[in-house]
Amino acid sequence: MKPFSLLLASAAFVASAFAAHAEIRFGIMNEAYPPFFAKDASGKWQGWEIELMDAVCAELKEKCSIVETSWDGLIPALDAKKFDVIWSSMSITEERLKTIDFTNKYYNTPSKLIGPKDQKPGATADAVKGKTIGIQVSTIQTEYYNKYFAKQADQKTYQTLDEAFQDLVNGRIDYVFGDSIALAEFLKSETGKNCCADMGNVADDPAVLGIGVGGGLRKSDTELKAKLNAALAKIRTSGQYDQISKKYFDFDIYGAK
């Protein structure tokens, strides 16, 4: 028979292991990406994607936590098991599906260009000819640039969108290319509305731009994928998804069904 102290220690270990297993760790880019996620004055994460995460965790009755890392470090950190799911506005693309898996999409928005107010609107290869386009590294917009704009325009890459916005404001680049919502948020800011304008959405290419944003998962985590998909489906059918979205958007962010 084991001593009572050993039994307590064993029970504590099992409880600890269960708690660790029960917690879902969500990986989020360590920079503000409003309105999807950003920190408030107290350092707490908030935003549409955070509220959706909270709703998923409540539906699953699971404890959840947030792990921060750089955008280009998200997939390596997922592979290294530093967290369980990428929850950071990552698009589901054919290229990424070679490495990781995804939940079903939870939103889908187009990509666009923004530029100085005196720039003629346009988001085609001809429109950007001879210009310099600022793009955040490791994004779907980089792949789109390589396919459609590389022969016509130069590219300057940035670790963060904020760095690209600063260069646009200061005239060091001609455009910023990114997700329409994130760029629209910048255009609403004091700096953005004074300097810049919407140049238009680029033509869609699902093979490059993806089929929407989902939670990134290790291919082996099929059980977690099923749980997250079930929770997302329940939140949508219950109307909770729309309730959360109406706080941030005046249109259907889910996109085409």
What's the pLDDT tens digit per position in 229-249? 999 999 999 999 999 999 999
Same CATH fold assignment for domains 21-107+211-246 and 111-209: yes
**How far from the centroid of its chain's Cα atoms is residue 25's Cα?**
15
Task: Tell me the two tokens of residue 92.
Answer: 């589901």
Residue range 72-115, pLDDT digits in tens? 999 999 999 999 999 999 999 999 999 999 999 999 999 999 99
| Class of the domain covering 111-209 | alpha beta
Percent of the chain predicted with pLDDT > 90: 90
Q: Higher pLDDT residue, 10 or 89?
A: 89
What are the tens digits of pLDDT across the range 147-192? 999 999 999 999 999 999 999 999 999 999 999 999 999 999 999 9
pLDDT at 256 over 70: no
Radius of gyration of the chain (CA): 21
* Confidence (pLDDT) at 257: 58
Fold of the domain built from segment(s) 21-107+211-246: D-Maltodextrin-Binding Protein; domain 2 (3.40.190)
DSSP string, 104-161: S-SB---EEEEEETTSPP--STTTTTT-EEEEETTSHHHHHIIIIITTTSEEEEESSH
Whole-number mean pLDDT of the chain?
92
C-alpha closest to that of 31 among 93, 89, 108, 110: 89
Q: First vs last Cα of the chain: how many Å apart?
A: 60
- Per-residue pLDDT reduced to its tens digit, 22-58: 699 999 999 999 999 999 999 999 999 999 999 999 9
d(CA 228, CA 234): 10
Residue 49 tokens read as 């994607």
Could you state, in order of their start, the residue ranges of all structural domains in the chain? Answer: 21-107+211-246, 111-209
